[in-house]
């Protein structure tokens, strides 16, 4: 008996029955055999040790996204095996691969925390050196329950009992003395996991439910080469240096948590200045793009949210209060407010598209465990916008918003990736509206992207409850991606509110609606900016653009005159009149990443000049005060919005 395999290039070859994936890879090339981690046949994943079956085969390496996941998931088993050896009383939850790494959730009695990572890492290296094979076996559901119950693995038993009906099979993998419930596949042996590192320890509720037991989560990462691992660890160190939770307070931008409450940001003077500048540019750009700026209240009667659908589909993320025995909701979204403004008067087709925009602060009930600096908060300002348009205008309006969003990202030097978030056809009960409307809307969003020539990836199940959306992921200076602009098409809420316009035939017709946010939220976007620029903002965004440094107290009077001249010129500046040495104060200004310094000594005070310095560049040479102010103004000028729809 022979097995026929078809390769990615279209060629085919027959192999004897029982040939393994390892042998197939070796028959192609030694290099491929060395890099192979697993294989797939007709899209089904297999261990390399498994006999192949006829079909289209692909040998999977670390360069494949799925190959990296297999390697990292295998590393999570290696971690668990090491923990089992060091802590025999440990019980194991789940250990998935995640982006750039893996974790394992475990119940480890008397675990000392991060101080144990060195010992665990050493045990993992020992197991790697033994080159222990990953061995797969299948058990019936009943056998698997009995097996894991005998080991006291209550978390595994819980998972098995949810898998399926009696008589079904489940797979387990053995790595030495450690046995895990796992679908697989895995790398052939522990020797493939040489380039693995443990990173941190955290707490995590079992299955993410705060009503369940708190487990120990150990994070790690794994790569196929030592160089790749080393580069990644350096990247993580750079990310720590850029962490907005560290730089934000150091630069006097914001404070969060503490007595002010978790997930609530308090903007300090420097942060408020940065926000004001960002908002000013945002408003100018929106006015030039034909938007009308509006303002809506922070709360509204619950009936409004019932009509919009948020009460039914989003209630668990909302805050409520009582006003004169009536239920009110603190707004989690700005859209119902903009709908009220649209409804304020009868609309004609001649007014459409009507573009409304608002920097609207909203509040969402986020669990404390998911809060993360400015990236995930409970109160935040959405740079929100809603476009009311006809069916014929929808595609062009979506395209206009995408171009608008990409303009902002390019302005700040972000890269981007685009995803088209669609409904899940197998779970349409989670979405408002009927499947026919969804199909029409999803096609329109795809057509908009296709006509623009933008590359995108379709993602099932990520649509908003009221319609499909385009999500643009920002890519920062370190190559990391973050949630950024979002454009959402909505055919549900206009129907719920009976939003209409008078067409050219004099009859009322249903209006269409596009929701969009270009920053996503100001808080998260500023957090991204801090890390993207490492706090070294472009001059126009810098909270303090100029610091004036008199060398001695005899130059204080002149320093105040220079400060007044700079302020009158529109420069955000301050005079540092402290008694510290000039070298210390220059170094401090560099640390605070102030773009410009004017150093004033006896000569400058006598001649009415300044000695300017540029952050990161040093001394610019003595010049007149007028010329120096112009240098600062030119360097720190706000960009002029030039994009056109």
At 583, list the tokens: 């070298």
Contact by Cβ (8 Å): 318, 364: yes
DSSP for 486-523, please give it: EEEEESSHHHHTT-EEE-TTS-EEEPEEEEEESSS-HH
pTM (2 d.p.): 0.85
pLDDT at 166 (0 to 100): 57
| Burial group, residue 224, by CB count within 10 angstroms (0-12, 13-18, 19+) | buried
Name which of 254, 345, 338 is nearest 295 in CA terms. Answer: 338
Residue 211, helix vs strand vs coil: coil
Which domains occur in the chain, in start order? 2-61 (3.10.20.30), 66-241 (3.30.980.10), 254-533 (3.30.930.10), 546-635 (3.40.50.800)
CB-based burial label for 133 (10 Å; 0-12, 13-18, 19+): middle
d(Cα 34, Cα 18) in Å, to the nearest integer?
Answer: 21
Provide the pLDDT for residue 466: 73
The pLDDT score that the predictor gives to residue 644 is 54
SS3 51: strand
| 194 neighbors 88 (Cβ within 8 angstroms) | no
The C-alpha atoms of residue 301 and residue 323 are separated, in whole angstroms, by: 9
Give residue 381's region: left, alpha or beta (phi > 0; psi -120 to 50). Answer: beta
**Long-range own/partner contacts, residues 39-43 (CB < 8 A, 24 or more apart):** 40/66, 41/5
Torsion of CA 382, 387, 391, 393, to 10 degrees: -120
Closest C-alpha to 84, from 179, 5, 9, 156: 179
Query: Among candidates 312, 327, 333, 330, which has minimal Cα distance to 382?
Result: 333
Q: Is 546 helix (H, G, I), strand (E, B) or coil?
A: strand
Any bridge partners for residue 639, and if so which?
Answer: none
**Cα three-residue angle 400-500-441, rounded to 5 degrees:** 50
Note whether 514 and 398 are within 8 A (CB). yes
The pLDDT value recorded for residue 165 is 62
Which residues of the chain fall below pLDDT 50? none
**Whole-angstrom Cα distance, residue 226 to residue 601?**
53
Cite the DSSP H helix spans in 412-514. 435-452, 493-496
CA of 580: how far to CAs of 296, 318, 552, 553, 556, in Å? 49, 51, 9, 11, 13
């Amino acid at each position: 008996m022979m097995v026929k395999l078809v390769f990615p290039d279209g060629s085919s070859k027959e192999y004897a029955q029982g040939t393994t994936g390892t042998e197939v890879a070796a028959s192609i090339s030694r290099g491929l055999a060395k890099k192979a981690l697993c294989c797939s046949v007709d899209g089904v994943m297999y261990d390399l040790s498994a006999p192949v079956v006829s079909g289209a085969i692909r040998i999977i390496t670390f360069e494949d996204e799925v190959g990296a996941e297999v390697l990292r998931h295998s590393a999570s088993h290696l971690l668990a095996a090491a923990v089992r050896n060091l802590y025999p009383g440990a019980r194991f939850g789940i250990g998935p691969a995640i982006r750039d790494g893996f974790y394992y959730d475990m119940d480890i009695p008397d675990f000392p925390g991060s101080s144990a990572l060195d010992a665990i890492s050493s045990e993992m290296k020992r197991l790697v050196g033994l080159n222990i094979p990953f061995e797969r076996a299948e058990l019936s559901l009943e056998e698997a329950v009995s097996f894991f119950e005998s080991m006291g693995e209550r978390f595994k038993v819980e998972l098995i009992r949810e898998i399926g009906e009696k008589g079904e099979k489940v797979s387990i993998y053995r790595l030495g003395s450690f046995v895990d419930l796992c679908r697989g596949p895995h790398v052939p042996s522990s020797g493939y996991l040489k380039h693995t590192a443990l990173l941190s320890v955290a707490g995590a509720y079992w299955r993410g439910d705060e009503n369940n037991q708190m487990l120990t989560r150990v994070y790690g990462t794994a790569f196929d080469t030592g160089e790749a691992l080393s580069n990644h660890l350096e990247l993580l160190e750079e990310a720590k240096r850029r962490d907005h939770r560290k730089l934000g307070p150091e630069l006097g931008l914001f404070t969060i948590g503490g007595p002010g409450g978790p997930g609530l940001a308090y903007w300090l003077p420097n942060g408020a200045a940065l926000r004001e500048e960002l908002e000013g540019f945002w408003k100018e750009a929106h006015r030039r793009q034909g938007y009308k700026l509006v303002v809506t209240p922070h709360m509204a009667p619950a009936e409004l949210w019932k009509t919009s659908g948020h009460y039914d589909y989003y209630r668990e993320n909302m805050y409520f209060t009582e006003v004169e025995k009536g239920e009110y909701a603190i707004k989690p979204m700005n859209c119902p407010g903009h709908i009220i403004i649209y409804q304020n008067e009868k609309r004609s087709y001649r007014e459409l598209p009507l573009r409304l925009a608002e920097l609207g602060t909203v509040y969402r009930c986020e669990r404390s465990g998911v809060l993360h600096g400015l990236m995930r908060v409970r109160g935040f300002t959405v740079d929100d916008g809603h476009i009311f348009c006809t069916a014929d205008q929808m595609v062009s309006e979506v395209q206009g918003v995408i171009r608008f969003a990409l303009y902002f990202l390019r302005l700040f030097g972000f890269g981007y990736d685009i995803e088209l978030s669609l409904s899940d056809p197998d779970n349409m009960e989670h979405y408002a509206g009927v499947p026919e409307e969804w199909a029409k809307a999803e096609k329109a969003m795809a057509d908009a992207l296709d006509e623009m020539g933008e590359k995108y990836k379709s993602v099932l199940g990520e649509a908003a409850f009221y319609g499909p959306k385009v999500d643009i992921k920002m890519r920062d200076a370190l190559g990391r991606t973050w949630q950024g602009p979002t454009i959402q098409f909505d055919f549900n809420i206009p129907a719920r509110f009976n939003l209409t316009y008078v067409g050219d035939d004099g009859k009322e017709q249903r209006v269409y609606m596009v929701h969009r946010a270009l920053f996503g939220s100001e808080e998260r976007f500023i957090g991204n900016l801090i890390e993207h620029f490492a706090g070294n903002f472009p001059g126009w965004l810098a909270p303090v653009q100029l610091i004036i440094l008199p060398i001695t107290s005899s130059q204080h009077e002149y320093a105040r005159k220079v400060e007044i001249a700079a302020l009158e010129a529109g420069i955000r500046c301050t005079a540092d009149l402290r008694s510290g040495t000039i070298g210390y104060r220059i170094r401090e200004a560099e640390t605070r990443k102030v773009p410009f310094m004017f150093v004033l000594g006896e000569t400058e005070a006598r001649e009415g000049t300044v000695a300017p310095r540029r952050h990161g560049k040093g001394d610019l040479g003595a010049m007149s005060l007028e010329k120096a102010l112009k240098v600062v103004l030119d360097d720190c000028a706000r960009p002029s919005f030039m994009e056109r729809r």
